[in-house]
Structure 1
Amino acid sequence: MLGRTANALFWMFRYLERAENTARLLDAGLRMALTRDLVTAEEEWRSVIATAGLRRNYEARHGSYTGMQAWNFMLREKDNPQSVLAMFGQVRDNARQSRNAVSGELWEAINDSWIQIKDILAKPVPEQRVGEVVAMIRQAGTLAHGAIGGSMLRDQGYHFARAGTFIERADSTARILDIKYYLLLPSLSYVGSSLDAGQWDTVLRSVSGDRAYRWLNAGQIDAKGIVEFLVLDGRFPRSLAYCHSALRDQLASLARIHGREGQSDALMRDADTRLADVTIDMVFEKGLHEFILEFISTNAAIAQAISDDYRFLA
């Protein structure tokens, strides 16, 4: 497979994952903002924008955090290269570049979703349609993942696509956890308060983990338990442990197909060993922020090594 095609498959699913994650953040923010007064609702939207890593870009263009401005900025604003509209355009462009390597079902799922999303985001989204738009974006991801799972050969193209998914998913979960401590929780005096519990609920909703966590923990919102769930619980498909386990499997499959291992495999083994030996007490003893920064750095190094090993730009 040409490096350009592998690169397109890898990034197609990275951008798809980013678009889905943005939709989840918007859904969580909307739920929280609807239960707040006007001033507090603006703080909720400030947190959502910060969690998405868009605060500087947003504040360069807007002076307030009204819901209408915030969700349209994240969904469709032309000056935001990380908007859902821009990211899904990248999904389709990468799908087109790798057209000969994807199944007809996957291409149709992505192309049809792109047409629908482009159409609904052609104009500013009013409050009464935000839920519909978020649902459409999440459905687009579900359709694409279903199509690749049910129609593509388990060849190198499939494994590059899945590797991109888990690289991006791990990065997103890690950043959401880090933002919780440094932006969503402005003061230690909030720890244990209703605001603190509400923010942790937002974190769980941002990764679609609220129902699974409550089922496992009898509905109790506990910061330490949530961090353990999102970092170490290998049963939850968006936890750091699950994502790296799945990524390891994709890289092992690629190594078998190519008859050799690369730097990405060595980095993956090291990361896997470190994460397997960690307990939640060790995470908090080290410092959650420090742990997350190290994880994000390692995750990025693995992504770069995949690109180098398989000559994505060749």
Structure 2
Amino acid sequence: MLSRTADNLYWISRYMERAENLARILRVTDRLSLMPAIAESDGNEWHSTIVVAGLEDMFYERYDEATPENVISFLAFDPENPSSVRNCIETARRNGRAVRTALTTEQWETLNTTWLELPGWNENRVRGSGLNRFLDWVKDRSLLFHGATVATMLRRDSYFFSRLGTFIERADNTARIVDVKYHILLPEQAEVGGGIDYYQWASILRAVSGYRSYNSVYRQGLKPWLIVEFLTLREEMPRSLASCSLGIKESLDHLADEYGQRHECHRMAGQIHSRLRFGQVDDIFRQGLHEFLSEHIENNNRLAYEISRAYLF
């Protein structure tokens, strides 16, 4: 496969996953902002959303304050923000058009239909209750695309490049969500383990579709250390760091078998996966949760670079 084709497939999945992640983050922020104790605070949950997205510098170059209107506009529709939901969908579709023959009919129709429906959503339409309908639409279209990928693509190199994009993007997003909760969301005057803290952790689980799954695994209620374990070390949780690292490793192993060669990205993927597979939550807190997550985000970015260097340049 041409590296250009592999690169397009990889980034189609990354951009569709990124659009879904932004929709999930905006949904949970909107829920948090409706909580009475938070509504009376300084609104730092909207600032936290910008931090989660990794776009803090770009946002404050253009806006003075992280109001709901500014954040929604910037993350959902801003044409100057390359990671806005609108630009993610448009870029994914553009990449899909460039490699139309490498996609299945179901994948292409999902991408193209999403792009055709996108202009029907604008800032006026998503005001009030329209925001939730828009975010649900984005999430549903992304899930439909990923479902078409899993259900219809041959298990060849094109499939594994697509899956790599999904898992790299998802791992980055999960780490950012947990990190921003631990360090930013809880107001200074609020009690750790109190009502606000409990509601925020529940919202984080809902942001990654993990609330019911968590309660089926643990019978002790919402405990911060168990939630961290669930979202970092439990492979059965599809959006956990451990599950993403396993998906990355397995996809790279298939590519190594297909191309008959291993690269630095294979060593790094194995190292990251081993650390998460055999890690313990006590060790994470002993190191410091923020330090652990920051290190993981950095390692994930380095792994993405090594994947690009080996296959996509």
- TMscore range, shorter length: over 0.9
Aligned partners of 2:76 and 2:8: how far apart in 1? 23
Aligned to 2:25: 25
Higher mean Cα deviation, 122-131 or 103-112? Answer: 122-131
Higher mean Cα deviation, 278-287 or 74-83? Answer: 74-83
Structure 1 residues 181 and 122: CA distance shift in structure 2, 3 A: closer
Deviation at 1:122?
7.0
Aligned partners of 1:122 and 1:179: how far apart in 2? 26
1:40 is paired with a residue whose SS is coil
Alignment of structure 1 residues 200-279 onto 2, 5 Å:
200-218=201-219, 220-279=221-280
Deviation at 1:44?
2.5
Consecutive unaligned residues of structure 1, counting only runs of 5 or more, are none
Aligned to 1:89: 90
Aligned partners of 2:35 and 2:288: how far apart in 1? 32
**2:165 matches 1:170:** no
Matched letter for residue 31 of structure 2: R
1:81 is paired with a residue whose SS is coil
Aligned partners of 1:86 and 1:41: how far apart in 2? 30
Does the 8 A contact of 1:32 with 1:41 survive in 2? no
Does the 8 A contact of 2:16 with 2:89 survive in 1? yes
Consecutive unaligned residues of structure 2, counting only runs of 5 or more, are none
Per-residue CA distance 1:253-292 (angstroms, 9 max, x = gap)? 1111111212111111222222222111111111111111
Deviation at 1:214?
2.4
The alignment's C-alpha RMSD in Å is 1.9
Aligned partners of 2:247 and 2:210: how far apart in 1? 18
Deviation at 1:46?
2.3
1:93 is paired with a residue whose SS is helix
Matched letter for residue 8 of structure 1: N
Deviation at 1:38?
4.3
Matched letter for residue 268 of structure 1: A
Aligned partners of 1:271 and 1:38: how far apart in 2? 39
TM-score where L is the length of structure 2: 0.93
Per-residue CA distance 1:167-224 (angstroms, 9 max, x = gap)? 1111111111111222223538631121211221222122121221123234712110
Matched letter for residue 15 of structure 1: Y
Size of the aligned set, in residue pairs, is 312
Does the 8 A contact of 1:72 with 1:124 survive in 2? no
Matched letter for residue 225 of structure 1: L
Per-residue CA distance 1:62-93 (angstroms, 9 max, x = gap)? 33443233222211022322210011111111
Aligned partners of 1:152 and 1:160: how far apart in 2? 11
Higher mean Cα deviation, 119-128 or 291-300? Answer: 119-128
Matched letter for residue 161 of structure 2: F
1:127 is paired with a residue whose SS is coil
Aligned to 1:196: 197
